[in-house]
Chain A
Amino acid sequence: MHIPDGFLDSQTAVTAAALAVTGLGVALRRARLHLPPRRVPLLGLAAAFVFAAQMINFPVAGGTSGHLIGAVLAAVLLGPSAAVIVISAVLIVQCLMFADGGISALGANIFNMGVIGGVGGWAVYHVVSRLVKGLFGCVVAAGFAAWCSTVMASVACAGELASSHTVRWSVALPAMAGAHMLIGIGEGLITVLVLVAIARTRPELLQPEAAPEPRRSYGAIVAYGGLIALGLALFVSPLASRWPDGLDRTAELLGFKEKAVAPMVPAPMPDYEVPGFHWTTLGTSLAGAVGTIVVFALAWLLARALVPKGAAGPRGVP
Chain B
Amino acid sequence: MRHDFLDRYSRLDSPIHRASAAVKLVVALALVVAVVLLPASRPMFLVAVAVVLVAVAVLSRVPWRFLVVRVLLLEPFVLGVAMLALFQSGGWRMFLFLVGKCTVCLMVMVLLSNTTPFSDLLRVLKRWRMPALLVTTLSLMYRYVFVLVDEAQRMGRARTSRTFTPRRSRAWRTIATVVSQLFIRSSERAERIYAAMCARGWR
Partners in one complex: yes
Residues in chain A within 8 A of chain B (CB atoms): 2, 4-10, 13, 24-25, 28, 31-32, 37-49, 51-53, 55-56, 58-59, 68, 77, 85-86, 88-90, 92-93, 95-100, 102-104, 161, 166-168, 171-172, 175, 189-190, 193-198, 201-202, 205, 271
| A315 to B56 alpha-carbon distance, docked (Å) | 58
Q: Which of A7, A24, A96, A104 contacts B118 (CB 8 A)?
A: A96
Question: Which chain A residues lie closer than 8 Å to B161 at the CB level?
Answer: none
Interface on B for A, CB 8 Å cutoff?
Answer: 6-7, 28-29, 32-33, 35-37, 70, 74, 77-78, 81, 84-85, 87-89, 98, 101-102, 104-106, 108-110, 112-113, 118, 121, 131, 133-134, 136-145, 147-149, 151-152, 156, 168, 171-173, 175-184, 186-187, 189-191, 193-194, 197, 203
B141 in complex: contacting residue of A2, A55, A89, A95, CB < 8 Å = A89
Whether the Cβ atoms of A45 and B187 lie closer than 8 Å is yes
Residues A59 and B171 in contact in the complex (CB < 8 Å), given A52-B149, A85-B133, A96-B113: yes
Closest residue of chain B to A43 (Cβ to Cβ) is B137
Contacting pair B70 A99 (CB below 8 A): yes
Select from chain A the residue with minimum beta-carbon distance to B180: A197
B182 adjacent to A52 (CB under 8 Å): yes
Is the pair A44, B171 in contact by a Cβ cutoff of 8 Å?
Answer: no
What residues of chain A lie closer than 8 Å to B151, measured between beta carbons? 52
Contact of A40 among B32, B78, B101, B133 (CB under 8 A): B133
- Residues on the A chain within 8 Å of B152, using CB: 52-53, 55-56
CA A56 to CA B78, docked complex, whole Å = 23
Q: Are A85 and B179 in contact (CB under 8 A)?
A: no
Rounded to whole angstroms, the CA-CA distance of A93 and B138 in the bound complex is: 8
Give which listed residue, B36, B77, B89, B187, contacts A42 with CB less than 8 A: B187
Give the CA-CA distance A190 to B174 in the complex, in Å: 11
Q: List 20 A-B contacts (CB under 8 A).
A: A5-B35, A6-B35, A9-B36, A39-B190, A39-B194, A44-B140, A45-B186, A46-B187, A48-B186, A52-B149, A53-B183, A56-B156, A56-B179, A85-B134, A103-B28, A166-B81, A166-B85, A167-B81, A167-B85, A197-B173
Contact A96 B112 (CB under 8 A): yes
Please, which residues of chain B bring their CB within 8 A of the CB of A38? 191, 194
Supply 5 further A-B pairs (C-beta < 8 A) apart from A46-B186, A202-B184.
Answer: A5-B106, A44-B140, A48-B148, A104-B105, A189-B172
**Which residue of chain B lies nearest to A92 when distances are taken between CB atoms in the complex?**
B138
Which of B37, B121, B183 neighbours the largest number of chain A CB atoms within 10 Å of its CB?
B183
Please indicate the chain A residues that have their CB under 8 angstroms from the CB of B36 in the complex.
5-6, 8-10, 13, 104
**A93, B145: Cβ atoms under 8 Å?**
yes
Do A88 and B134 touch across chains, with their CB atoms under 8 A apart? Answer: yes
**A residues near B37, Cβ cutoff 8 Å:** 10
Cβ contact within 8 Å between B106 and A4: yes
Whether A53 contacts B133 by the Cβ 8 Å rule is: no
Q: Is the CB of B179 within 8 A of A190?
A: yes
- For residue A2, which residues in chain B have a CB less than 8 angstroms away from its CB? 77
A6 to B6, CA, bound (A): 24
A194-B70 CB under 8 A given contacts A7-B81, A40-B194, A52-B149: no
Question: Which residues does chain B contribute within 8 Å of A45, judged by CB atoms?
Answer: 140-141, 144, 148, 186-187, 189-190, 193
A49 close to B180 (CB less than 8 A): no
Question: Distance (Å) between the CB of A230 and the closest chain B CB?
Answer: 22
**Which chain B residue has the least Cβ–Cβ distance from A102?**
B105
